[in-house]
Structure 1
Amino acid sequence: MKHKYSAIVFLIFFFTFSLKAQDYQKEINHLEKEILKLGIKKDSLNSAVKNLKLSILHEKLEKFGLPKYEKDVEIVSHPALILSYNEKHEQANWVAHIISKEITGKGFSRTNDFRPDPLVKTGSTEEKDFFIKTMKPDGTYSYDGFGYDRGHLAPSADFRWNKEAMSESYFYSNMSPQLPNFNRGIWAKTESFLREYVAENNHDLYVVTGGILTDDLPKVERSIHKESIPKSFYKVALDTEGDTLEGIAFIIPNEGSDYPVISFAVPIDSVEKITNINFFASLPDSIQNIFEKTVDIKHWQTKNRKNNHKPVSRHK
């Protein structure tokens, strides 16, 4: 009888506890739903803030960052980058963008969503201009490459703070045929060089990039659009947020190199003479002369690159 009584007491206690536990669980479920809603709202607000920041950068780029161009030149404007498309060479004359100080925060991974640019009226290059992709019987793919990477002009990592902006960097209008040892070597190092500068100085940086396009360039013969293969590429950059206006440019052959990035540095004027492009054309000549005639190598070297001196032998 005693055991039976104890069992009844336990059941009553357990039932009472279960009711309380159910109430607790309901409250937990409610709070977890609220947390989820807040998380979704936070993500939405963060996305809205990043897109507004991108809009500000786009307006700055339009106002200060574009080269001079003629009315008959096709200008393609995306939120993250603006480019001048050259139908003859089937690639951009130049691509302008801003490396934002936002890159110092948590970033997105590569999207790798390569695709034709729908805003290029004459049609941009596409996948078949760089390799042939064939499905095998087992469902996997074989790749027959033409010997060139799909080389970014405005690099995807410059936009890692904004997923939509990064995705835009994968338009084929932002690609040029680059030898693998160039694209994955000295070119990638040059891109990192400028990002490191932005991160260390906490300054936005105007950047314009392109291949040096001339009439005698070879073509990718197996491609469907027969795009030109630049012998060299250039990149120019302008920092307007320091105590003085500072500019730097690079001219780098489309080949592998073991030289440090800074050894390819030249004044912006040097690139203008070779390409016949007037960079940062909205600024008065008197202002352009401040940062285009010379380049202060020491200013652009970040702390971990201070010992990278410009070798004389490369220019002989």
Structure 2
Amino acid sequence: MSKSTLAMFAALGAGGGAALTAAVYSLRSSDTEKPESQIATSRTVTAPPAPAASSVAIPPAQVFAPTAVAGPVNPAGLFEYGFPGPVSDVASRSALISSYDRRTRNPQWVVEHITPASLAIRDGDRKHSAFVEDDAVPAKFRGQLKDYFRSGYDRGHQVPAADAKWSQKAMNETFYLTNMCPQVGEGFNRDYWAHFEDFCRRLTVQYPSVRIVTGPLYLPRKDPVDNKWYVKYEMIGSPPSVAVPTHFYKVIFAEDGKAGGSVSIGAFVLPNAPIPNEKPITDFEVPIEAVERASGLEFATKLPVQRRRRLCADTTCALVIRDYADRQKAFGKDDKRAISPPRS
């Protein structure tokens, strides 16, 4: 990481704000035009049975305990008519757990767990899966198939279907729209992002257990006219209701499998834009605190510092790019710790 990058994160830690975070996350070549993406088609399918609602109504008096000091007003009395929220629709499914943001119609985060054993089983086939709306989310807040129709964006999995081949049911459940975000297709979802997902799977060659948190970000950019920072993102759908993230993050926890053992952590933020395959994945590595500040989430708060390791110091972080001739090129320094292709 360059000295300028370190200086920016130092300022960020001192209260520099999201503007510095965005500057670090931006691609160096930011003027690349977005290619025309795959046009998603809408079709009617039968959704898998929705799990029972995980959110439980809590009486307002239980959350806002009556104060012993009498006063002329009682703001908490409004909650007797209903609590406004926000409500995170948390779904626990076979291969993932997700938290859904009703405002953006995107997940806030999606958690998965992959192992050598889970990736070795091939009982699921993508051709038997179909994108489905999530009936567990109230209809007025639900992302819909028609929102993506002719939007120019792919329905981008946050937990990849390829990580859930161990069960057809598990794979089917990765196709809920609550596991999707609008992603640029050519150059990102169907290219660089897919190679990044493959990198995560290849980590299981070295680590017996890999846990991953994935989600969208909406980061500010500086306006060249007035030099002020603005959060600006596209909305798709009719009416426009699904937000198009500016960036995506992955926080990876690679476990050594020992009781009380070490956990190698890697945090990455990628722009929702075409990325050249030659771009090293380490260019998108950031401190985990930067993802926390940008997302409003916290990671590994219960993991002791002495058990933490930096993923890209513990193994070589490099993508393997497959071209149409199925040849492979690894970008990164040759290292005996480099992740080898799994055996077929």
What band does the TM-score fall into relative to the shorter chain? 0.5 to 0.7
Q: Identify unmatched segments of 5+ residues in structure 2.
A: 1-84, 220-229, 321-328, 334-344
Find the counterpart in structure 2 of residue 44 from structure 1: none
Q: Assess, with a 3 A threshold, how the Cα gap between structure 1 residues 270 and 121 changes in structure 2: closer, same or farther.
A: same
Q: Assess, with a 3 A threshold, how the Cα gap between structure 1 residues 303 and 178 changes in structure 2: closer, same or farther.
A: closer
Give the deviation of 1:269 after TM superposition.
2.4
Greater CA radius of gyration, 1 or 2? 1
Residue pair 1:89, 1:213 contacting (<8 A) in 2 also = no
Q: Secondary structure at the match of 1:88?
A: coil
Residue pair 1:128, 1:224 contacting (<8 A) in 2 also = no
Find the counterpart in structure 2 of residue 58 from structure 1: none
Find the counterpart in structure 2 of residue 291 from structure 1: 308
Counterpart among 164, 169, 174 of residue 164 in structure 1: 169
Q: Secondary structure at the match of 1:210?
A: strand
Instruction: Give the whole-Å Cα distance in 1 for the aligned partners of 2:315 and 2:164.
Output: 24
Counterpart among 282, 290, 301 of residue 270 in structure 1: 290
Residue pair 1:90, 1:225 contacting (<8 A) in 2 also = no
Counterpart among 104, 109, 123 of residue 120 in structure 2: 104
Q: Secondary structure at the match of 1:106?
A: coil
* Residue 108 (structure 2) pairs with residue 90 (structure 1): no
Find the counterpart in structure 1 of residue 134 from structure 2: 117
Q: Assess, with a 3 A threshold, how the Cα gap between structure 1 residues 238 and 300 changes in structure 2: closer, same or farther.
A: farther
Q: Assess, with a 3 A threshold, how the Cα gap between structure 1 residues 163 and 262 changes in structure 2: closer, same or farther.
A: farther
Residue pair 2:207, 2:255 contacting (<8 A) in 1 also = no
Q: Assess, with a 3 A threshold, how the Cα gap between structure 1 residues 296 and 79 changes in structure 2: closer, same or farther.
A: same
Find the counterpart in structure 1 of residue 273 from structure 2: 255
Residue pair 2:281, 2:318 contacting (<8 A) in 1 also = no
Give the deviation of 1:249 after TM superposition.
1.5
Moved over 4 A (4+): 302-307
Q: Equivalent pairs: percent with the same residue? A: 28
Q: Assess, with a 3 A threshold, how the Cα gap between structure 1 residues 241 and 124 changes in structure 2: closer, same or farther.
A: farther
* Residue 200 (structure 2) pairs with residue 183 (structure 1): no
Give the deviation of 1:306 after TM superposition.
6.7
Q: Assess, with a 3 A threshold, how the Cα gap between structure 1 residues 275 and 307 changes in structure 2: closer, same or farther.
A: same
Counterpart among 263, 271, 275 of residue 245 in structure 1: 263
Q: Secondary structure at the match of 1:196?
A: helix
Find the counterpart in structure 1 of residue 156 from structure 2: 151
Deviations 1:280-316 (A, max 9, x none): 44x24x34x7537x4434515479687515xxxxxxx
Give the deviation of 1:262 after TM superposition.
3.3
Q: Secondary structure at the match of 2:248?
A: strand
Q: Secondary structure at the match of 2:308?
A: helix
Q: Number of matched residues?
A: 223
Residue pair 2:199, 2:319 contacting (<8 A) in 1 also = no
Q: Assess, with a 3 A threshold, how the Cα gap between structure 1 residues 246 and 146 changes in structure 2: closer, same or farther.
A: same
Give the deviation of 1:253 after TM superposition.
0.4
Q: Secondary structure at the match of 2:213?
A: strand
Instruction: Give the whole-Å Cα distance in 2 for the aligned partners of 1:77 and 1:225.
Output: 28
Residue pair 2:236, 2:243 contacting (<8 A) in 1 also = no
Give the deviation of 1:204 after TM superposition.
2.0
Q: Assess, with a 3 A threshold, how the Cα gap between structure 1 residues 91 and 302 changes in structure 2: closer, same or farther.
A: closer
TM-score by length of 2: 0.58
